[in-house]
Amino acid sequence: MISLLLLLTVTVAVVAVIASGEDQDPEKGFHVRVETAILELLDDEDIDNDKKITIDDKHIAGTLRGDKQHVVTDLEGKRHRIEGTYFLSTLLQELSLARDAGRDTTFVRFDRIYEPPMQRISRLIRELYWDGLTRRIDETHLPRILKDEKIRTLDGLNYLYVPATDPEGFTYLSGVAQRNPGFHLRVVLLPDTLTPSFIRSLKGKHGLLSLALERMNGGSAQGIPFVVPGGRFNEMYGWDSYFEALGLLEDGRLDLAKAMVDNFVYQINHYGKILNANRTYYLTRSQPPFLTSMIRAVYYRMPRTEESRSWLRRGFEAAVKEYKTVWMGSERLTETGLSRYYDSGEGPPPEVERGHFDAVFAQVAHSTGMDPKEFEQQYRAGVVHVPELDAYFKHDRAMRESGHDTSNRLEGLCADLVTVDLNSLLYKIEIDVAEILEQEFGGAATLGGMEEQFEEWKLRAAVRAKRMTELMWNPERGMFFDYNVRTRAQHRFISATTFYPLWAGLADDRQARLLVDSALSKLEMPGGLVSTTKESRGPVTGDRPARQWDYPNGWPPHQILAWTGLNRYGYHREAQRLAYRWLFMITRGAVDYHGTVPEKFDVFDMTHAVFAEYGNVGTTFSYITREGFGWMNASYQVGLAFLPAELKEKLGLLTPPKQVFP
């Protein structure tokens, strides 16, 4: 790795956080007029007019604009020179927070302007970003979550759907709509049975799905809170929530992490599964199952009481129900005894923007002699039927349930694959249920009306591990590969998901050693773990566009799972090295780009400039990010807790606290 000292000028001086919010000692800061200071700073240094100060704001020759030096005049007429991209950006962030608080003047603290990046990123995640990403479905908070930029209704109304099994929720939310005509809200009770045909009938009327409510004193209701990923993802997502919960727990937000579990239990009990996210167009699919891991992470932070044990039981009842009815149900369980991702819907997923499938429609249209746009319109309307295209969208929808949407690993064949990632997660569920039954319930408990024995769940896990080794383990290549049930062969596409068996604990020591020797050398990049190898991804062409879950991109869940898995098997140095690379990349990106904490990174070039498919959520904001991105926030907090002291100290030196006092 390139040395930090070569990337940025570093000094060993570190500015301590010295002033409380009430401390206005002139030696520790200065008073300014907020709006004046913002306008002068932007005029001087925001050359590209994006309301941020970054390394992309180039110096205009022959002027002082963009030279990364700015003089602030305080209320007493004293001048304060601030130098450097990072320090100017933190000044703008602090001024914008003061403006948001409604202040005409403010005391700008030196320790905040010159706050070391590692401490600042972590503090803002803890103090600002989690709250910025928190939502509730209730009268007070609905306006913030109703809008969905991914899809629009034909009549301009905001639809909110409530399960038939939640009449109290329907009554409350119907009252909200009546009391607030400005919400343009229509509350609809879902039918008892949710079929793919019913969900197709919602075209033009898709909307938000209700989540759990709690009754307050006096009979009023309040939505149980949850964290959203951020940006265009303004709802509660399936696997994102597990990683967000890990970050919340690191930051002492136990109640919020617990609340997210409660909302997942609600989803299983009322919608039949944890949804891709709580919008109607996601009712046909789930996402990677992490619920038992999430419950255990929360439970071990709770005091041991009868109330917490009851909460644990309710959570595991729901998890066992989903395991049996969804993941071991007829749609997802294959003849191999292993499970696949699947989506019961048909045709193009409605949440995907028009244009995303242009290459797919064009290829099929050309074979029929039709104009691609006309062909797409007729296919979507059901006028033309093409079995080949029907199969493609079945695979595409399954890929979206996998969370890896999209990747050439899964493109066009996902429904035929029993994947390493899914079956590792199911193995982990089986182990979790066995261990909780043994440790907390004396070996057996009635969950959902069925007597569950820990020995039976241990046997399930052992059978799955054996079958995965038979079908997925490749000793010559030293990796786990997905297995194609149609071709009855391994799908030898190298992906970061090959490390999932380490996280789940199903690999033996020899497999772990071979994985580290074989896969790590292929997937480790300057910025951490890459999603796939370049060779497996293959060439990028007009007919085969770049996919966001492929090389050169890296994602937070892969990092966290790999760190944990490597650590589990004793590969501590490798895990810490990966974590350090990832955190260094986030920190450097925030230093250069005004505190940006994005959805994903190009880990080869160590940049957030990722343009595949949907761009990079979390990079578009003005003045200061108030959210970051959910699982990226989590990876930073989890990573800091994971690093040993010497690496954390090294990371803390990134960017010198250069100060020019009056």
Q: Is the peptide bond between 406 and the residue preceding it cis, with omega within 30 degrees of 0? A: yes
| β-pair partners for 106 | 32
| Phi-psi sector, 449: left (phi>0), alpha (psi -120 to 50), beta | left
Q: Which residue has the tokens 């498919």?
A: 613
The residue annotated as part of the active site, out of 251, 317, 322, 599, is: 599
Helices 645-652 and 117-124 sit at what angle, rounded to 10 degrees?
100
* The pair of three-digit structure tokens given for residue 597, joined into one six-digit string: 């904490």
Catalytic site includes residue 599: yes
Q: Give the Cα separation of 309 and 526 in Å (integer).
A: 44
Q: Which of 621, 574, 571 is nearest to 594 (CA)?
A: 621
Backbone angles phi, psi at 138, to 5 degrees: -155, 180
Catalytic site includes residue 168: no
Q: Which of 513, 637, 644 is nearest to 586 (CA)?
A: 637
The answer to whether the beta carbons of residues 345 and 284 sit under 8 Å apart is yes
Dihedral over Cα of 17, 20, 25, 30: its sign:
positive
Backbone angles phi, psi at 113, to 5 degrees: -65, -45
Q: Which residue has the tokens 């062969």?
A: 489
- If you ran DSSP here, which 8-state letter would residue 446 be given? E
* Beta-strand pair 208-209/450-453: unpaired
| β-pair partners for 260 | none
Residue type, 346: E
The answer to whether the beta carbons of residues 95 and 603 sit under 8 Å apart is no
Torsion of CA 274, 279, 280, 281, to 10 degrees: -90
The residue annotated as part of the active site, out of 46, 405, 452, 592, is: 405
The answer to whether the beta carbons of residues 431 and 394 sit under 8 Å apart is no
Q: Give the Cα separation of 89 and 622 in Å (integer).
A: 11
- 231-243 burial string, b = 16+ CB within 10 Å, else e? bbbbbbbbbbbbb
Q: Where are the alpha helices (DSSP H) in 154-229?
A: 167-179, 196-200
Burial, 35: exposed, middle or buried (Cβ in 10 Å; 0-12, 13-18, 19+)?
A: middle
- Catalogue the E-assigned strands of 213-339: 213-215, 221-223, 226-227
Considering all CA atoms of the chain, what is the largest pairwise distance in Å, rounded to the nearest integer?
Answer: 79
Do you know the residue count of the chain? Answer: 662
Q: How far is CA 303 from the centre of its chain?
A: 28
Element (H, E) at 113: helix 110-113
Q: Which residue has the tokens 């899914």?
A: 422
Active site residues: 405, 599
